[in-house]
Amino acid sequence: MNKILFTAILTFASYFLATIAFNTQHSILLALIVMLVVLWTNEALPIGVVSLLPIVLFPSFGILGTEATSLNYSKSIIFLFLGGFIIAIATQKTHLHVYISNKLLTLFPNTPRGILFSLSITAAFLSSLISNTTTALLLIPIAMYLTDNIKLKMRLVLSIAYGASIGGIVTPIGTPPNLILLGFMDQHALEAIPFIKWIFLTAPLAFFMLLIIPFFLSIGVNDIRFDAELSHKEKLTKDQKRLLYILGSLVLLLLVNSKIEPYYSGLGLNEKGILLSYGLLMLVPKVGFLEWEDMKKIPYEIIFLFGAGFSIAAAFSSTGLALDIAKYLLELTNLPVILLIMLVAALITFTTEITSNTALISIALPIIYSLSQVTNIDTTLILLVATICASYAFMLPIATPPNAIAMSSGAVKVKDMAKFGMIFNILGILSITAIALLYWQYAL
């Protein structure tokens, strides 16, 4: 009850503070967002319950209608998650993740630090080729099996989520905000960033983050030893072989389907449809591995969580709050370039924490573009900073798909993610600002 009372006090305080700079409707929206974030963080209510509150609260306060709010809970990307969750359940049911875990432990040092680095690097590499969402869905079941130590398990899961986000920025196809940026640049007749040049621009940043984050996650747990029985050799069962072939075909299809502009246009298949199709394949008799009863294991609260994120983004846009924020930003155009880049980086990073990064970057890019037109800052540079920061948010599950999938594992609490994520957010902002000024400014 104390947590709910604390949430109420913060909500009212946020409203009165917001009225200093915003109108009543916008102040109410900001207060409601504060309330949702605090409830997600202090876990005063179940995460699924909090995630459904916008359907009740937004219409009640005149922010967004019931129909307009509830539509956000059935976005097509949610079915990508659904397919991925079903595949993850099949992986766990066949114990394929046990076999993969054993192989992983024979390839890397059998220490927490070694495995944290290996999981982060593997996640980063895969997410640079296929979506960071798919990468997290495929790898997190493996991390869940590696140890029974709750503290270490939480950090292993976070290493995959953060590694997937880190690697997702390395190529234009790694995460949706990258593709949104390229589409926006084309729409505004800005020179496109070629695929290979994108890699050269982003790889140093990803490399730095992959050095820092796994090392930081290993502090305090590096003396923990993995269970001895994990290292014994096993042979694949028939079910595991069949699932491995299916997953191999999925990864191959995702790779072949990926665009590499301007060199290769891909197959043109919808990735959401691919993941859902493979998920449903898990329920086909004699092909799949699941019964309908297994569907009870799907973490529906995470699906509701994303619906809440999309609803917040829709409310930002429909109420005009995004435009109001843009006006305030335009008043800061006389700031030195370094402060302006850092401000944009911080604003995008922390705003992404409370809404889907895909939805946010769609709203933010026009605002940032307008900002660049009245300053002496390079337009492509500041747009790239904003886009990367939309993926480098590590505090809350709603911020990025890998964060949400980490939460769905049950090994991570919001307060743990927030504790580590705050530090990594600051490191990300500082490193992105530094690389933008020292490298991108001259390479673009």
pLDDT at residue 231 in the model: 46
Which DSSP string do the residues of 295-337 spell out, in sequence order?
Answer: GGGS-HHHHHHHHHHHHHHHHHHHHTHHHHHHHHHHTTTTS-H
pLDDT at residue 261 in the model: 57
d(CA 300, CA 320): 31
Task: Mention every residue, 6+ apart, whose C-beta is less than 8 A from residue 296.
Answer: none
User: pLDDT tens track of the chain, all 444 residues?
Assistant: 788 888 889 999 999 999 988 899 999 998 998 898 788 777 788 888 888 999 999 999 999 999 999 988 887 767 877 887 788 788 878 877 667 766 666 677 778 888 899 889 888 887 776 677 778 877 888 888 788 888 899 999 999 999 999 998 887 767 778 877 877 787 677 887 877 788 889 999 999 999 999 999 999 887 777 654 444 556 788 888 898 899 888 878 877 876 665 666 677 787 778 888 998 999 998 888 888 988 888 878 777 877 887 788 778 778 888 777 777 776 766 778 888 889 899 989 988 887 767 767 877 787 788 777 777 788 899 999 999 998 888 998 878 888 988 988 888 988 899 999 999 999 999 999 999 999 998 887
pLDDT at residue 436 in the model: 93
d(CA 314, CA 329): 20
d(CA 282, CA 94): 11
Domain range annotation of the chain:
76-297
First vs last C-alpha separation in the chain: 53
Task: Mention every residue, 6+ apart, whose C-beta is less than 8 A from residue 364.
Answer: 322, 348, 351, 386, 390
Q: What is the DSSP letter of 264?
A: B
The residues with which 260 forms a beta bridge, in sequence order, are 264
pLDDT at residue 216 in the model: 93
Tokens, residue 255: 């790779």
Task: Mention every residue, 6+ apart, whose C-beta is less than 8 A from residue 229.
Answer: none
Asked if 165 contacts 402 with a C-beta cutoff of 8 angstroms, the reply is yes
Tokens, residue 31: 């207060």
- The H-assigned helical ranges of 75-223 are 76-94, 96-107, 112-129, 132-146, 150-168, 176-187, 195-218
